[in-house]
Amino acid sequence: MNYHTKKLYVRIARAMAVLLVVSCIRFPIDHLEAQAAEPSIPIRSYTPHAPIWINSSADFTSTNGVYSGNGNPDNPWVIENLFINSTGYEYGIYIRFTSDHFIIRNCYLSNNYTGTQFMISPSDGYYWTAGISLTHVSNATIQNNLIERNHGNGIYIGVANNIRIENNSIKNNLMGIYVSVSTGIMIADNNFSGNQSEDVLIGQSKNITFKRNIFTSGFNFEMGRLDEFTDFNIDSSNIINGKPIYYLKNQIGGVVPNDAGQVILANCSEFIIENLNLNPTKTRGIILGFSNNNTIRNNILSGFNTAISILGSSSNFIYNNTIKDCYFGIIIAGSNNTLYHNSFINNTNQISCAGTNVWDNGYPSGGNYWSDYAGNDSNNDGIGDTPYNVSYQNVDRYPLMKPYNESNVQPPSNQIYIWATIIAIIVIVSIIGLAYWRMRRRK
């Protein structure tokens, strides 16, 4: 082997080494973020007990299942190790009008009132049927309980503060947890499964923290103000259907990671949400709350209650998404958002829109595909001859006759690099082969 041949092989070997190093650096290790552990509900002998009604601090008695304590911070009242089958009742444990410290732990509550009835009382205001219902209380902990098969909420918290809900298994209820008009709520290390609607619904509440929860149905908001929508602490240790939840607030610029299970932007701008294939939940896939100038593109959302919610937000671009088999495709409460080249397929309600928005990219680029569009295309340009009426003051002038080419949805970035590396290796091998063939010819 002559000097030039050796030099060629050295260069090729160096190129291969660099390529392999770059590939190893670029390819991320599988997502190892700690997921919430399955809450440990110890196997024990529960004591059967009738449903408990505590109307004030004076009712923390042994008759009402109180095991120990005096209501002080260092010696809270304790209700524990009870089995409460509340068939025929609106609640399993109902506590109100107290600021005493208390703990409900290691209990099994199921089968509350057969109906999702909303109760109104002149003295109390309101409460929902629930396995555990706390209203007008402070300083409570709900810990390590099994709460299942309740026909209302698993847990209801109303007009309350400084409440901890931790390490519970909450499953097969109409709704997992409903928090209303409350502050200082910690929801941590709970496991939710099989709930018919939301795992957690938060309404008109502030300073809510979520950590290390496992969701399947997802969580939702009833928020009408910016200060409410941004007053959450939700990190990516919360998992929905095996993927992290990303809640971003008060930020400018960025790309949402493409391993997201649910995305919530609160008072954010100039973000890109792209290349997501979200697993269906019974709530919302992507939420923009009071967030402007963001881009949602190249995503696939199927089987949600609501695929995308735009709340109090404007000047966002939503394009090249496939949204199918949802109850609502997109809900918009905002104006001057632009939506085009999306495919809305077999959603019960394609759009719910309050505000005036733009629904196409002009001609011949076109608007969106609507599976319920009944118009014709007489000139075969791929665009319907008549507009699609989205809602009052909202019209797609150039509806597409076929779903927008889903091949435009790029694969996640990891796949791009994998394919790029494979192609690069093929090219290098081809170069080596060509060099070898040329040397053989010279001989």
Alpha-carbon distance of 323 to 342, in angstroms, equals 8
pLDDT at 202: 94
Q: Tell me, what's the pLDDT at 416?
A: 43
Are 178 and 52 in a shared domain? Answer: yes
> What is the torsional sign of CA 40, 45, 50, 56?
negative
Q: Domain containing 69: what range? A: 44-222
Indicate whether 77 and 179 sit together in one domain. yes
CB 349 within 8 A of CB 336: no
Q: In whole angstroms, what is the distance from residue 383 CA to residue 397 CA?
A: 9
CA dihedral 123, 126, 128, 130 (to 10 degrees): -40
- What CATH number did the domain enclosing 156 receive? 2.160.20.10
> Does residue 128 lie within any of the structural domains?
yes
Assess if residue 59 is contained within a domain: yes
DSSP secondary structure letters along 193-214:
ES-SS-SEEEES-EEEEEES-E
17 and 128 in a single domain? The answer is no
Q: What is the predicted pLDDT for the residue at 430?
A: 65
Look at residue 356 in the predicted model and tell me its pLDDT. Answer: 96
With a CB cutoff of 8 Å and minimum separation 6, the contacts of 357 are 332, 334, 335, 336, 337, 338, 339, 394
Crossing angle for the helix pair 413-442 and 3-26, to the nearest 10 degrees: 170
Residues 23 and 81 in one domain: no
Name which of 211, 187, 212, 189 is nearest 201 in CA terms.
187
Report the first-to-last Cα separation within the chain, whole angstroms. Answer: 11
23 and 138, same domain (yes or no) = no
Positive or negative torsion for Cα 351, 356, 360, 363: positive
- Contact (CB, 8 A) for 281 and 304: yes
CA dihedral 44, 50, 54, 59 (to 10 degrees): -90
Asked if residue 51 and residue 142 are part of one domain, the reply reads: yes
Domain end: 186, 206, 222, which one?
222
My answer on whether 11 and 63 are in the same domain is no
Any domain includes 202: yes
89 and 10 housed in the same domain: no
- Phi first, then psi, for residue 198 (nearest 5°) are -70, 150
Answer yes or no: is 250 within a domain. no
- The verdict on 9 and 136 lying in the same domain is no
- Counting the structural domains of the chain, the total is 2
Per-residue pLDDT of the chain (443 residues; tens, 9 = 90+): 554 554 545 455 454 544 443 343 333 333 333 344 444 444 458 999 999 999 999 999 999 999 999 999 999 999 999 999 988 888 999 999 999 999 999 999 998 764 333 343 333 444 468 999 999 999 999 999 999 999 889 999 999 999 999 999 999 999 999 999 999 999 999 999 999 999 999 999 999 999 999 999 998 988 778 888 899 999 999 999 999 999 999 999 999 999 999 999 999 999 999 999 999 999 999 999 999 999 999 999 999 999 999 999 999 999 999 999 999 999 999 999 999 999 999 999 999 999 999 999 999 999 999 999 999 999 999 999 999 999 988 999 999 999 997 433 333 344 444 445 566 666 565 666 666 556 666 65
The type of residue at 252 is: I
- Position 219 scores a pLDDT of 87
Domain end marker among 185, 204, 222: 222
Q: Is residue 344 part of a domain?
A: no
Cα separation, 141 vs 104, whole angstroms: 6
Measured CA to CA in angstroms, residue 89 lies from 113, 116, 124, 126, 342 at distances of 5, 12, 18, 16, 48
- What integer pLDDT is reported at residue 425 of this predicted model? 66
In this prediction the pTM is: 0.78
Same domain assignment for residues 9 and 63: no
Structure tokens at 387: 């507009």
Domain boundary among 222, 257, 292: 222
Domain contains 81: yes
Same domain, residue pair 11 and 54: no
Both structure tokens of 102 = 């208390």
Structural domain contains residue 185: yes
On whether both 185 and 78 belong to a single domain, the answer is yes
Provide φ and ψ at 6, rounded to 5°: -60, -40
63, part of any domain: yes
Listed in sequence order, the residues at least 6 apart from 51 whose beta carbon sits closer than 8 Å to its beta carbon are 84, 86, 89, 91, 92, 93, 94
Cβ neighbours for 10, distance < 8 A, ≥ 6 positions apart: none
